[in-house]
């Protein structure tokens, strides 16, 4: 009989916790933060649509290719330090000092990365990658990398409303600059990106003024130095590299193997999917510090928080999948014109990734908080390798349809791997608890 009561007891307990959460100021702030992040990404989607419509498939391909190769190689700036900071800051606090070290590390690595990217990329495809275009894109990406570190630090301190407003101003400023430039008939790619850089810089200045990170050349303590941060961030860096590969390799490979028009047709649906990733990712950036604090707390409380994360993120993922899967076929041609009809079909193929990603984010949040970051690398390596290999065959034979299916298959493999290790971690925790209770 007890086994029959367990499901109903769990549902009753979950509903009670849900009612309590609705009254929590943290949940209200998280809701505002997630909503503002969603609105910010919607703004960026509108920004991307306007760029694509104004430039056309060929020039939009040049624009998208520059940002794709910059994003693909930006791992050399971030080096996994942001995710490391979310876990470390959740455990020890002192976020202004920790974030200050991370920012200074990023500026050192970012300077080296910028010079290398601008010097080497044009030799790969001089018809696509130009010096001025890459320089502005690199500056924009570097600014955004620092902005991400600052907002993550504020996230640890639960200043979610401030993050929401900063993100809205930064992303809204990009759209405002684009609209003003188009109104002034300034449609050159370089001019449009320069306006975007200016808006990103304004958002960064506000974020830095709010956090006031300790940008000191001295380490905050003997236990935490720049070198130690780099060493401890290696598993996160490898994980982030693999994540970036299968999120950006498709556009980059299409740019290197395919045509300019192919990049221009594939980048809008890929951009919509990536833009909507901000919803689970913004929730994850708040979940990881919370779960990190609860790892050493009573097991029931940790698992209760994780159940809420799984149910909430899965529900969000299903809603995103359904809405984009149903309306995606008509959305892009309506917004961008008949020349983007193929883009709408590709968006429908990619739409299940939104549900898959939400499940991945829930599982990865627990693995990171529980100290199993290294376990993520295996599934990520398999997914990234599979993505690249399929694309090498699919681009010449199946075109953009093959690229879309390669992305979907690799994400499905990644989700299965994350679920496997999440179940293993939970089983290990329960076995450890049983062993301690018997002793």
Q: In this predicted structure, what is the pLDDT of residue 222?
A: 39
Give the tens place of pLDDT for each residue, 300-352.
Answer: 777 877 888 888 888 888 989 998 888 878 878 887 777 778 888 889 999 99
Q: To the nearest 10°, the Cα dihedral for 291, 293, 298, 302?
A: -10
Give the tens place of pLDDT for each residue, 45-61.
Answer: 788 878 888 887 778 77
Q: In this predicted structure, what is the pLDDT of residue 2?
A: 44
Handedness of CA 72, 74, 79, 80 (dihedral sign): negative
Q: In this predicted structure, what is the pLDDT of residue 436?
A: 63
DSSP H helices in 184-298: 189-211, 226-257, 260-276, 278-294
Q: In this predicted structure, what is the pLDDT of residue 351?
A: 92
Q: In this predicted structure, what is the pLDDT of residue 207?
A: 87
The Cα diameter of the chain in Å comes to 76
* Residue 124 pLDDT greater than 80, yes or no: no
How many C-alpha atoms does 432 have within 13 Å on its Cβ side?
A: 10
The CA distance from 406 to 193, in Å, is: 30
Write down the pTM of the prediction.
0.67
Give the tens place of pLDDT for each residue, 347-360.
Answer: 999 999 999 999 99
Question: Any bridge partners for residue 221, and if so which?
Answer: 224
* Residue 409 pLDDT greater than 50, yes or no: yes
| Average pLDDT value for residue range 400-414 | 90
| Average pLDDT value for residue range 297-301 | 71
Q: How confident is the model at residue 198 (pLDDT cuts 50, 70, 90)?
A: very high
- For the record, the structure tokens of 66 come out as 């520059």
Q: How confident is the model at residue 5 (pLDDT cuts 50, 70, 90)?
A: very low
Q: In this predicted structure, what is the pLDDT of residue 9?
A: 54
Is 26 in contact with 158 (CB distance < 8 Å)? yes
Average pLDDT of every residue of the chain: 80
Give the tens place of pLDDT for each residue, 229-263.
Answer: 777 777 887 877 777 776 767 777 777 776 667 77
């Amino acid at each position: 009989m007890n086994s029959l009561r367990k499901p109903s007891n769990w549902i009753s307990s979950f509903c009670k916790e849900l009612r309590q959460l609705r009254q929590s100021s943290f949940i209200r702030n998280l809701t505002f933060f997630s909503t503002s992040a969603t609105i910010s990404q919607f703004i960026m989607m509108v920004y991307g649509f306007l760029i694509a419509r104004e430039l056309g498939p060929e020039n939009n391909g040049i624009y998208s290719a520059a940002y794709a190769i910059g994003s693909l190689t930006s791992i050399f700036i971030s080096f996994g330090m942001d995710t490391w900071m979310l876990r470390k800051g959740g455990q020890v606090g002192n976020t202004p000092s920790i974030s200050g070290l991370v920012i200074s590390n990023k500026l050192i690595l970012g300077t080296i990365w910028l010079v290398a990217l601008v010097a080497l990329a044009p030799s790969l495809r001089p018809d696509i990658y130009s010096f001025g275009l890459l320089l502005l894109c690199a500056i924009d990406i570097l600014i955004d990398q620092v902005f991400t570190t600052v907002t993550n630090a504020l996230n640890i301190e639960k200043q979610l409303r401030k993050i929401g407003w900063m993100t809205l101003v930064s992303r809204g400023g990009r759209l405002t600059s684009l609209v003003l430039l188009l109104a002034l008939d300034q449609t050159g790619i370089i001019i449009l990106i320069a306006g975007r850089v200016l808006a990103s810089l304004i958002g960064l200045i506000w974020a830095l003024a709010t956090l006031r990170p300790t940008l000191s050349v001295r380490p905050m303590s003997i236990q935490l130095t720049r070198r130690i941060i780099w060493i401890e961030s290696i598993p996160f860096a490898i994980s982030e590299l693999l994540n970036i590969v299968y999120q950006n390799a498709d556009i980059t490979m299409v740019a290197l193997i395919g045509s300019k028009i192919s990049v221009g047709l594939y980048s809008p649906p890929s951009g919509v999917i990536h833009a909507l990733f901000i919803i689970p990712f913004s929730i994850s950036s708040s979940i990881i510090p919370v779960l990190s604090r609860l790892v050493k707390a009573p097991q029931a409380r940790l698992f209760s928080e994780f159940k809420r994360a799984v149910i909430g993120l899965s529900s969000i993922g299903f809603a995103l999948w359904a809405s984009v899967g149903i309306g995606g076929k008509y959305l892009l041609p309506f917004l961008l014109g008949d020349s983007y009809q193929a883009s709408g079909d590709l968006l429908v193929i990619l739409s299940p990734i939104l549900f898959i990603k939400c499940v991945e984010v829930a599982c990865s949040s627990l693995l990171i908080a529980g100290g199993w970051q290294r376990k993520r690398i295996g599934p990520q390596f398999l997914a990234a390798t599979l993505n690249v290999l399929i694309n090498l065959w699919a681009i010449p034979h199946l075109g953009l349809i093959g690229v879309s299916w390669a992305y979907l298959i690799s994400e499905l493999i990644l989700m299965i791997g994350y679920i496997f290790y999440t179940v293993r971690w939970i089983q290990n925790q329960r076995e450890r608890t049983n062993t301690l209770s018997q002793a």
